[in-house]
Every structure is written in C-alpha cells, then in structure tokens.
Structure 1
Amino acid sequence: MSNPLAVTLGDPAGIGPEIAVRAALGAPDVVMVGPRSALDRAVALIAPGTPVQEVAEVSEPARSAAHLRLLPVCGGMEAPAYGRVDAGAGQAAAEAILTAIRLAREGAVSGIVTAPIHKEALAAAGVPFPGHTEMLAHHGGAGRVAMMLANDELRVVLVTIHTALRDAIAQADFAAQMSAIRLADEGARAFGIARPRVAVAGLNPHAGEGGLFGREEIEIIAPAIAAARDEGIDASGPWPGDTVFMQARAGRFDVVVAQYHDQGLIPVKYLGLEKGVNVTLGLPFVRTSPDHGTAFDIAGKGIASAESMETALAMARRLVASRQGAGAGAG
C-alpha cells in the first residue's frame, strides 16, 4: 500500500485510543491522528514503553517497526477523565476526523479508520454534526453517502441514519430510496460480488400489508425498486423487516437496504459487536470503523477488545486494494 491509513483516536474519554493502539501495534501502514496526551495514556495502559513518533507529514516513515506514528491535533490538550462527556474530548475527536478527511481528499492517506466518538461530547463542543457519517457527508466531497454495517453474515445499508424516527419516515423518500439502493449495489460490488442481490426492507409492519398498515411501500419504496431494476440493479422487495434479515443471513440476498437506524443495526449488532464493521459508502475514499461505541463504562481499564477495530482495519485494507485494482484495470 503506497499511502498509509489514517486511524483517528476517537473520543479520548472512551476506549478509542486503547483499541487504536492495540490495532496499530506492528502495523507499518498506520498513522494515528489525535491528541498526543490521549495516545500517551493509551500506550502506557496497553503497551508501556512503545515509542511514539510525532510526524508533521503522514509520508514520514516510521523510525522503526516498533514506533507508533502520530499526527497530533489539539496540541497541549490534557487527556480528559475517562468515562465522562467532555466538550474538549468532543472537540479533539472532531479535529482528528476533519484532519483525516483532509488528508484523504488530498490523497495523502489511502483511507480512514475511525475509533468511536460520543455524540453528546460532539454536541457539547458545538460540533454541528451528530456523528461520523454526517461529518463525512459534509466534508468528504460526496453528493450523498450511506452507512453500511457488515460482518461475515450480513450486509446492511441504511436509508436514513441519525435522526428521530418521525423524521426518518419523512426523509425516506423516493430520492433517499434510490440513493441507498444504488450505494448498496455499489458497496456489495466493492466486496467482490459481481451481481449483488439487493433486498429492500419495508418501512411498516409486514411491509404495509398491501396498504393496511401504511402506504409508503406502495407509493415510495416499490416504485424506487422498480426504477433501480430498470437501471440494471437486482433489487427486490419491499420485504417485511422482521424476516428479510434472516433470509439474507441464509444466503438469499447479498445486502439489505433498511429504512431506519435501528431496523438495520439491531440485526447486525445482535450477531456480535466484535464482528461488525461500519463502512461509509459514496465517498471518494475508503472509510471504515468499529461497530460499537465509546464504552465509557470500561474506558481506561485496559480490557476493551480491539477485535472490531482490527476487523475495520483489515476491511479498509481490502477495500483500498479493491479500489486500486479497479483503477489499474480501468487504465
């Protein structure tokens, strides 16, 4: 890999720095982005004595295989107390994300892997975005993005993300359906599936039961599926949300388009947080993250599992290689 992956440290009051250190040890293709104080504290907890090398440019090579490279943000910031919502921690997390996005857009890094952030801390810092996906959509140079949650058994793409349920219903319009279906097809192809089978979940119970429980399926979702099929996408549905994920897990579908946050994330997370990876689709660069939060209750105890973070790193490498291979083939 010619350029490194940027790994943001996430909220310094949570487990992000710990799992970032565990995942980055012995990984020469990683440059971490975040406050030096947060990284030093995590190193002392996870891998005492590991040398940290601050870099001004991500292209600066590691002094040795043992060094952890860091592009620092928020210089002079003290590490916040573990397990508490802190405005300074929210600001540091946001600065790391924005720095990583800039590096990715400049081509200085091949992709971004983000450690967990805390939405209340972002809000306390005055950050006008509720989460990673919205920040990436605004600053990442994409017209529209979608969140894909993936593990070995399920791939799920969301039509709406971090919004109140009553607002999600209004936002799940024809344009949102089309965008999610297209990105689901594109995302599944990035996983090496030549012709993805895209299942679209209904919004209402029993996918509306022919209009008895709502007409969104008839008036919005089904027309979008038909339009996607006209574009050559193997889309089907709308399928009842209470069974479509079981069918996908059994191998009938390659990816499921879910209408709102919990409809899609509960099935994936139920299979195990350590196995899931969040992939942002639609960006001009690769971005992945673990499928869990800041875990304030165990932050600073040195017991947080880095398995999902390691899986997110492996997924990023795979997707970068896929993009580079597609680019070479196009030439």
Structure 2
Amino acid sequence: MRTIAITLGDPGGIGPEVALKALYRKSWPGNLRFVLIGSRAILRRQARQLSVPLPPEWHWHDALSGSATIVNWEPEQERNFELGLRYPSYVAAAPARARPGVTPWPPEESRLAALPDESTPSPARSATRSVAGGRARLQRLKSIGFKQPPMPLTWQPGVTGKAQARSVVRWIQAAVQGCRAGHFAALVTGPICKQSLALAGLPFAGHTEYLAALTLTRRYAMLLLGGSLRVVLVTRHLPLAKVPGAVSRSAIRMAAQLAAQALPWLGIKQKTIGVCALNPHAGDEGLLGREEIKTIIPALRSLRRQGLSVEGPIAGDVIFHQARQGRYGAILAMYHDQGLAPLKMLAFDEGVNVTLGLPIVRTSPDHGTAFDIAGKGQAHAGSMAAAIRLAARLAYRRNPWGRAGAPGRT
C-alpha cells in the first residue's frame, strides 16, 4: 500500500474541485491510499456541490490503516504537530566565494525570486552581501507558517488573500514533512497562484522553488509531460527579455543531467535528449543571435564528454515534430512558452508537471488556479488525475535523488 498526499492548492481556486473529482470520479487501484491536505470546511462545501462524499478526518498521529482509502488532514488543527523542516544553509546568503557555484539568496532584482533561480544576480554582486543580513532573512522565513496562528478561512471562489496564503504555505509544509517522515510515498500539489506565496511573505517564484528550499535541494528542474512529449525547462518563470541572459552553460548542463537521470525513472528507453535552440533557425550561424555559438553548443559538447546522448541545438519549429516521431526521450526547452505551447496543444487537459532533483516524488497538474471558473463545478480534472497516476507509479520506483526504498507504506 502506498499513500499519496494531495494538497488542495489555493482555497479559492479549482484545486479542491479537481482533487475531489479526480479521486471520486476515477477508478484507482486498491494498493493506493490518498490524504487530502487542506481545509475541511472548504472540502465540505465542494463535496456537497459535486455530490461526492466528504473524506473522513485523519490526524498526524493516526495510523494510515483501515477501510478508508481517501481521508482529509487539516494540519492547522493539529495542536501536537510540529514543523520539523529547515531551510538550506545557502538561504542565509553566505558569500559566493565560500560556496562555489551556488548563488546566494535572495536576489536584489526581485523579491519574488527562485532559490537559486535564473534571475539571481551575478556572484560578484552577491558576494558583497552580509551574512548577518542573510541570517535575519532566514529567521523571518522560519517564522512563517506554523509559528503564526491560523487566520479564519472561508470559501471564497476566485479570491486569494493573507488567510488563504498562510493556509497554502501550511499545507505545503505539512505535506513535505509527511513525505520526509515516511508517511507519504508521493506528493501531488494542487495549483497555487504566485501571489499567494508573496502574500504569505515568502520570496519564492513558485511551488517548485519553495519545495526545493524545503527539501534542501540545490539542483532541480521542471519536467512537463503531455501526450508523447517530455519537456525539461532550462529557465522557468521569467520575463522573456531576461531569458537570453539566463540561458547559461551551467543551466543547460544541469537540466540535461537531471533529464538523463529521470528517463529510466519514468520508464523511457530512448536516452537521446533533443536541445532547442534559443533563436529562430538556431541563430543562422550567428546572424540571428549568438547564444547557440557561445552558450548552447559548448554546453552540449561538455555533456557529450560526460557520456550523455544529446542532439542540438535544433530550431524550435522542427524539434517537437521530431520528438513526436520518437527521436528523443526528452526535449530541453530554453524558456517556458517554447516548451509548454506545443505540449499544451497536444495535451491541454492531461499535462503533468514533475519536479526533478527532489528527494521526494512531487507531481502537479499542468494548469493554474483558474479563479475565473472556481466554484462553478466546470473544472476539468484530467490533468489532476494524470498527476496522481504518475505520482502513484513513481512511488513504486526508486527515486534517483531520494533514499533507497519507497516510503509511505502501510
């Protein structure tokens, strides 16, 4: 038996709806158990609207046994539950010279930065940061979450605020702790809006960066799956104007190395990774941009010396057609929309996001909070169901970045 944790995501979004629809309107193997992490009051309202059962309550110290295969955990109501997570040492902004290859945090350009992210400043500027200032920021981070009293939370479809944001943070933290403690074999996260993390006082660009911090992970990447495509992003959520400066040799190497490790985990036999060019026509020998010559080609040369099978840089208007023919196990896309536009065209309602590099299994539906249709019962649960299916499958396999053996057994 494997236990899968599912966070509800933003309370005012479609996360609670698609979670309930996926669990109660789909068929699941008898060797799986599900823990829905989030507000019981909101689940009750959504369950009533959808005419599905309200999952029975579960508590941290309860055994995950018995006949109930779908339960609800509301961690903010647990008086005896203590958060045992800590943030990684590099969050405290140690000087770059003391930690080669690691960009200290947070960056000067944006309060909503990843950790570490492609938008971080250069090591030269980062090295001037004071360690004392970093420690102060770390203490503020540690005060966020369970140390703050819960705020009253009501179901307000299409709305987010401080109360909702704090709940989102608590649910994520509790889910990660459950995975690290061995209660859960995998985590499926409901969609959140980036504003929620900001409202909670967290300076992370999104779920992925926050989960990396909570699991002490420095090397991570987003892998999107849909139809016959598997796409790893070299950069994530950046303004397009910042992408060329963020596409570095090290970022390409990291994404490719993580992709190569992930393919056997996913059961993909094709080992070749296709690499997108950044510019039209792959730069046309430098006439349309020199990033291919100066950055991408040298990075691929280095990867080949390491024994990886990589092809590229290949123009974006060609590579996805080749991938559909089975030529690549995965594609490296240089930026968000380059990879997600073709994938969502093929599998808009069934796309899945997997975070590579984490010591826990984490998947999520490949869509956002959809505040415009929240509470109306119109949300399609296909992507959430696909995320749960993949999480369950990966929970029975050895995580290349995790502990040996599979946790979450009962």
TM-score (norm 2): 0.74
What's the counterpart of residue 15 of structure 2?
Answer: 16
Question: Which range is displaced more, 250-259 or 28-37?
Answer: 28-37
What's the counterpart of residue 260 of structure 1?
Answer: 335
Per the alignment, in what secondary structure is the counterpart of residue 317 of structure 2?
A: coil
Q: Does 1:246 align with 2:249?
A: no
2:362 and 2:34 map into 1 onto residues whose CA distance is 14
Which amino acid is 1:73 matched to? E
- Cα deviation, residue 106, structure 1: 2.6
Which amino acid is 1:72 matched to? P
- Cα deviation, residue 48, structure 1: 4.6
Unaligned segments of structure 2, at least 5 residues: 78-149, 406-410
Which amino acid is 2:328 matched to? F
Identify which of 259, 282, 287 aligns with 2:357: 282
What's the counterpart of residue 241 of structure 2?
Answer: 166
Per the alignment, in what secondary structure is the counterpart of residue 79 of structure 1?
A: coil
2:62 and 2:205 map into 1 onto residues whose CA distance is 28
- Cα deviation, residue 76, structure 1: 6.6
Q: C-alpha root-mean-square deviation of aligned residues, in Å? A: 2.3
1:295-320 Cα shifts (integer Å, max 9, x gaps):
11111112212111111000011112
Per the alignment, in what secondary structure is the counterpart of residue 68 of structure 1?
A: strand
- Cα deviation, residue 122, structure 1: 2.5
Q: Does 1:32 align with 2:36?
A: yes
TM-score (norm 1): 0.91
What's the counterpart of residue 144 of structure 1?
Answer: 219
Change (3 A) 1:90 1:49: same
Q: Does 1:50 align with 2:54?
A: yes
2:173 and 2:297 map into 1 onto residues whose CA distance is 38
What's the counterpart of residue 161 of structure 2?
Answer: 86
What's the counterpart of residue 291 of structure 1?
Answer: 366
1:131 and 1:324 map into 2 onto residues whose CA distance is 23
From the CA coordinates, give the structure whose radius of gyration is larger: 2
2:349 and 2:382 map into 1 onto residues whose CA distance is 5
Which amino acid is 2:45 matched to? R
Change (3 A) 1:62 1:132: farther
Change (3 A) 1:63 1:206: same
1:164 and 1:151 map into 2 onto residues whose CA distance is 24
Change (3 A) 1:221 1:99: same
2:194 and 2:220 map into 1 onto residues whose CA distance is 19
1:191 and 1:58 map into 2 onto residues whose CA distance is 32
- Cα deviation, residue 193, structure 1: 2.2
Change (3 A) 1:146 1:239: same
- Cα deviation, residue 273, structure 1: 2.1
Identify which of 201, 204, 208 aligns with 1:129: 204
Q: Share of identical aligned residues, percent?
A: 42
Per the alignment, in what secondary structure is the counterpart of residue 349 of structure 2?
A: helix
Q: Does 1:104 align with 2:174?
A: no
Runs of 4 or more consecutive aligned structure 1 residues displaced over 6 Å after TM superposition:
none
1:58 and 1:272 map into 2 onto residues whose CA distance is 39
1:121 and 1:142 map into 2 onto residues whose CA distance is 22
Question: Which range is displaced more, 27-36 or 147-156?
Answer: 27-36
- Cα deviation, residue 187, structure 1: 1.7
- Cα deviation, residue 244, structure 1: 0.9
2:20 and 2:52 in contact (8 A); partners too = no
Unaligned segments of structure 1, at least 5 residues: none
1:138 and 1:58 map into 2 onto residues whose CA distance is 28
- Cα deviation, residue 131, structure 1: 1.1
What's the counterpart of residue 229 of structure 2?
Answer: 154
What's the counterpart of residue 254 of structure 2?
Answer: 179
1:59 and 1:108 in contact (8 A); partners too = no
Q: Does 1:69 align with 2:72?
A: yes
1:221 and 1:58 map into 2 onto residues whose CA distance is 51
Per the alignment, in what secondary structure is the counterpart of residue 10 of structure 2?
A: coil
Which amino acid is 1:308 matched to? S
2:224 and 2:153 map into 1 onto residues whose CA distance is 33
Which amino acid is 2:72 matched to? R
1:280 and 1:287 in contact (8 A); partners too = yes
Question: Which range is displaced more, 12-21 or 70-79?
Answer: 70-79
1:4-42 Cα shifts (integer Å, max 9, x gaps):
111000000011011111223376511111122222222
What's the counterpart of residue 119 of structure 1?
Answer: 194
1:59 and 1:79 map into 2 onto residues whose CA distance is 29
1:240-299 Cα shifts (integer Å, max 9, x gaps):
112211211122212100011111111111113211100000111110000111111111
Per the alignment, in what secondary structure is the counterpart of residue 228 of structure 2?
A: coil
1:32 and 1:69 in contact (8 A); partners too = yes
- Cα deviation, residue 201, structure 1: 0.5
- Cα deviation, residue 126, structure 1: 2.3
1:181 and 1:256 map into 2 onto residues whose CA distance is 9
1:91 and 1:127 in contact (8 A); partners too = no
2:322 and 2:14 map into 1 onto residues whose CA distance is 34
Per the alignment, in what secondary structure is the counterpart of residue 271 of structure 1?
A: helix
Query: How many equivalent residue pairs?
Result: 327
